[in-house]
Amino acid sequence: MRVHVIGDGPGAMTAALACARAHIGDVSWYPVGSDTVPPVSELPPNATRVLYALGLKEPLLDNAYAPLSTMLRTTTGYLIANRPLGPFVNDRYGSSHLFIATDVLCALLSRAMADLGIRMQSPGDTDAPGADLVIIATDARSPLRTQITGDSVSEDSPWQFAWARSARNLPLPIDWLGESCYARQLPAGNRTDTLLIVRATPPPERLRELCAGDTELHWARTPLDPGNLTWHQGNHVFIGDAAHPLLPFSPQALALAIEDAWVLVRMLDQHGEAFADAFMEYEHYRRPRARAMQQRAEQIAARCAERHPLARFGDRLKESLGFRLLPEIAMQQDDWQFEYDCVRGFD
């Protein structure tokens, strides 16, 4: 069986690697270029346990950054919460929470793919005949998706986002929460990449100070999932953002794509070339979790959009006290995201 994996970035590469390791046919990878791949990949425990199962544990731990905590601050500088990572996450969820430059992660995946004989093809050959199975890991607006399914995503989120790069190297990741704005500063080796999310451009001056002052920002919007996107058509199946676009507030977009790849390959392994059955089972298991992640990102967006000062103050005070007084209980709100283990099963 010939398998074509189409898409740029770690999600597509993980799908190709998972197919090859499970001996799901003769795998070729078509790295279609995309400007939606972030410069830093955040790998929470639900993602790292899949990558570890694919043989990448030692390369990841040698090249990624595992901070001891992440801070949540207001844009005025007030520390809302200091969420533990590092050994706390390992003990609680049984896997690591890592940050790694995306180009480094792609290099690790590429090396693992080459060891298994996966061929990288020219992006212009995505229409090459002979594919029995096509896995698409592009974005929701991909013309390829529209061509195959006939549906498309037309409505955008009101939020705009852009990445900025700074030579400063922060010791810890920091989330900055403001009025109709949000920023995530993520360490990536010898630099810091900052994700700016705003309702209007240019961003507030305080957010501009978080990145290099002369950084040219290229703003983009996230498409909103109408809830009825097609996840598969014929011998084509979609994973990651191609199936369920996620607002940029959540760090789980790549993790979802990695989970998708693992579950899809398990279904293909179980059903063989009965693609319809494999795809239906894949969607059955994955759509509810993807929707839950979308709702979580929407909740964070709603917090940032809250205009009433007292409501904003109460929300931030509640989170601040929770992490200062009862951190174990405060962490429970995110357990469902991080403890999910699709390596063992995916009910």
Kindly report the backbone phi and psi dihedral angles of residue 238, in degrees, each rounded to the nearest multiple of 5, phi listed first.
-110, 145
Is 8 inside any structural domain?
yes
Least confident of 134-138, 142-146, 343-347: 343-347
**Mean pLDDT across the stretch 83-104?**
93
Which range has the worst mean pLDDT, 75-79, 81-85, 219-223, 248-252?
Answer: 75-79
Could you tell me if residue 343 is inside a domain? no
List, for residues 26-49, the tens digit of each pLDDT value.
Answer: 999 999 866 568 899 999 999 999
Give the HSE-up count for residue 21: Cα atoms under 13 Å, Cβ half-sphere: 20
pLDDT band at 243 (very low <50, low <70, confident <90, very high): very high
pLDDT at 33: 64
Tokens of 41: 């990949």
Residue 68 lies in a domain: yes
Of the ranges 119-123, 220-224, 281-285, the best mean pLDDT one: 281-285
C-alpha span between 9 and 40 (Å, rounded): 11
Please say if the pLDDT value at position 308 is more than 80.
no
Kindly state whether residue 247 falls inside one of the protein's structural domains. Answer: yes
In a domain, 94, yes or no: yes
In a domain, residue 331? The reply is yes
196's enclosing H/E stretch is strand 192-198
- Where residue 67 falls among pLDDT bands split at 50, 70, 90? very high
In a domain, 220, yes or no: yes
Measure the N-to-C terminal CA separation of the chain; round to a whole number of Å. Answer: 28
User: CA Rg, the chain, in Å?
Assistant: 20
Question: For position 42, what pLDDT does the model report?
Answer: 96
Q: The domain spanning residue 9 has which CATH number?
A: 3.50.50.60
Q: Is the pLDDT at 127 greater than 60, yes or no?
A: no
Q: Which domain holds residue 132?
A: 2-338
pLDDT at 156 over 60: yes
Top pLDDT among 297 and 212 is at 297
Least confidently predicted of 87-101, 168-182, 261-275: 168-182
Domain total in the chain: 1
- Domain assignment present for residue 131? The answer is yes
> By percentage, how much of the chain surpasses pLDDT 90?
55
Handedness of CA 57, 59, 61, 66 (dihedral sign): negative
Per-range mean pLDDT, top range of 126-130, 208-212, 252-256: 252-256
The rounded mean pLDDT for the chain is: 88
Digit-coded pLDDT (tens) for 181-240: 899 999 887 788 999 999 877 667 767 776 665 567 888 888 998 888 999 999 999 999
Tokens of 317: 């005070």
Number of Cα atoms under 13 Å in the Cβ half of residue 106: 17
